[in-house]
Amino acid sequence: MTKGAAGGRPKPGGGPKPNGWPNSSGRPKRSGRPNSSGRPNSSGRPAARLELDVHDLASTGEGIGRDGTGAAVFVRGALPGERVLASLNERARSPLRANLLRVLHASEARVAPPCAHADRCGGCDLMHLEPSTRRSWLERMLLEQLARSLRSVATLPAPTWHTPTQALGYRSRARLRIEADGKRARVGFSEAMSHRTVAVESCVVLDDALRPALAELAALFAACRGAGEARVALGAGGRRVYDVEFDGELDGALLGRIEQAREHIAGAEVRLSGATAPLSVGDARCVSIAADGLPLLAPSGGFAQASAVGGAALARAVAEGAGDAERAVELFAGSGALTVLLARHVGSLVAVEADRDAATSLADNLHARGLFAVKVRVEDANAFAFARNLPLVVLDPPRAGAPGAVRNIAAARARRVVYVSCNAATLGRDLAVLAGAGYDIDTLALFDLFPQTSHLETVAVLSPRAHAAKGRDGAQ
């Protein structure tokens, strides 16, 4: 696995800070300049335009300043240490949000985005931030969130960094928006903090094989009327696959046009709002290369990591953290991105997945590898009942976390837990439950799977504290 930025893992808040970035206490440096134009007007509301001194970044990647009343204002595209001119978004009252108009004084950490759409597109919210500074901020945000959740219940280990994906061209999956008026279609991404579509001709973070999807979808849906979302990925033979949810009227010749493009399109499913079944052409299942070097299938529109390379690196780290075990349960198994490695190191493995289509793909992926001993259970992972003292539990829940699962894990006294998370807040909440039940956090691994963004993947490995384990063993 590839380590983090050059020079080793950044320490929490460590290294030289660009002017105005928070110090080790978390307090902003004083600029010495009051916000002169952010005072309320006669109506009591802040002025439409205001100058702000930005002192920190929010977990959303927005810069945080304060208006003349002291209220926090969130500005997308602004960085700590900057003075900016912004226009207040009257629709956002709690918290206040403003649109960046001009940077009056730039941070040393600001870089020129390699994309012409970065100021409007909601996809890459930190493309304007220097990479090593962005990683330092991501680490600080995670550790601060975990510290708030855990309080004094557990000690956090020093995290290790992994940056397995390249900065551009890394996405092998994406979600695009489509708006069509019967004559032409606009295809792109959601505008930041909005449901409006930013039409994009080319996206620099998409894999080369996916970039033609923007123009291709625009041509396919030009004669339709309405709007929708398309999940795009790679399928059989490295060709593109589409899973589209559309609200409106489809052109009668749409499926014929998709069929004519089968040289580049492996398959597509189009779900029209109100219809009972999708329209289907070819095989729309996603195909990526798993951590074991073999193809991994996922159902059309099903979950998988945005980067196949990054997902494989994550799976290898999970397998390493899990080690060898005679028995194990994997929760939220999906189509088996983690399972295909875990099954090779575990004597008896149960993989739990609630989505039936994903569970079918999981079984297919296991059987294609000759891993017939794994038991696939189509159940709610948050309600799964564990055997007491199970040697290993691995879980990779959605952003909502796994509140029911961690309670059950703690009650069953699993001897090792590997938790994969994409959300620091729910990770902190769930780790606090385990820590309160007598678990130590042994390792924290951070994965920069979404360069240019405020998103972070975390792998935490936990085990019962030595004194707690002895007490439990003596009671049995």
Specify the pairing of strand 173-181 against strand 225-234: antiparallel
Contacts of 161 (CB under 8 A, 6+ apart): 3, 4, 5, 9, 10, 135, 139, 446, 448
Say if CB 73 and CB 50 are below 8 A apart: yes
Catalogue the E-assigned strands of 369-469: 375-377, 392-395, 417-421, 439-447, 457-464
pLDDT, residue 92, reads 65
Same structural domain, 315 and 220: no
- Amino acid identity, position 307: S
Helix axes 424-436, 131-150, angle to 10 degrees: 40
Same structural domain, 157 and 183: no
Query: Which CATH number characterizes residue 392's domain?
Result: 3.40.50.150
In a domain, 202, yes or no: yes
Same structural domain, 247 and 275: yes
pLDDT, residue 172, reads 95
pLDDT, residue 452, reads 95
Same structural domain, 311 and 450: yes
- Which of 287, 316, 348 delimits the end of a domain? 287
Neighbours of 46 (CB within 10 A): 22
- Amino acid identity, position 221: F
Query: Which CATH number characterizes residue 228's domain?
Result: 2.40.50.1070
Same structural domain, 358 and 439: yes
**Alpha-carbon dihedral sign for residues 89, 190, 130, 398:** positive
Q: Which of 262, 216, 208 is nearest to 237 (CA)?
A: 262
Same structural domain, 202 and 64: no
Neighbours of 180 (CB within 10 A): 25
Same structural domain, 320 and 428: yes
Same structural domain, 146 and 232: no
Contacts of 211 (CB under 8 A, 6+ apart): 202, 203
Residues tagged active-site: 422
Say if CB 222 and CB 212 are below 8 A apart: no
Q: What is the largest CA-CA distance in the chain?
A: 75
In tens digits, the chain (476 residues) has pLDDT values of 333 333 333 433 344 445 445 543 444 444 333 344 444 444 455 448 999 999 999 999 999 999 988 999 999 999 999 999 999 987 767 789 999 999 999 999 999 999 999 988 988 999 999 999 999 999 999 999 999 999 977 889 999 999 999 999 999 999 999 999 999 999 999 988 777 899 999 999 999 999 999 999 999 999 999 999 999 999 999 999 999 999 999 999 999 999 999 999 999 999 999 899 999 999 999 999 999 999 999 999 888 899 999 999 999 999 999 999 999 999 999 999 999 999 999 999 999 999 999 999 999 999 999 999 999 999 999 999 999 999 999 999 999 999 999 999 999 999 999 999 999 999 999 999 999 999 999 999 999 999 999 999 999 999 998 755 444 443 33
Q: Which of 375, 314, 311 is nearest to 343 (CA)?
A: 375
pTM for this entry: 0.87
In a domain, 317, yes or no: yes
In a domain, 294, yes or no: no
In a domain, 124, yes or no: no
Contacts of 278 (CB under 8 A, 6+ apart): 269, 270, 271, 272
Same structural domain, 350 and 454: yes
Q: Which of 261, 273, 279 is nearest to 213 (CA)?
A: 261
CA distances from 262 to 176, 224, 240, 255 (A): 20, 20, 9, 11
Separation of alpha carbons 123 and 452, rounded Å: 9
pLDDT in tens, 209-261: 999 999 999 999 999 999 999 999 999 999 999 999 999 999 999 999 999 99
In a domain, 419, yes or no: yes
DSSP string, 369-392: TT-TTPEEE-S-GGGPPPPTT-SE
Query: Which CATH number characterizes residue 49's domain?
Result: 2.40.50.140
Q: Which of 122, 23, 127, 31 is nearest to 84 (CA)?
A: 31
Same structural domain, 361 and 430: yes
Same structural domain, 64 and 210: no
In a domain, 263, yes or no: yes
In a domain, 377, yes or no: yes
In a domain, 67, yes or no: yes
Give residue 277's domain range.
Answer: 173-287
Same structural domain, 85 and 151: no
Neighbours of 384 (CB within 10 A): 20
Say if CB 242 and CB 216 are below 8 A apart: no
The total of structural domains in the chain comes to 3
Instruction: Specify burial of residue 63 (Cβ count, 10 A radius: 0-12, 13-18, 19+).
Output: buried
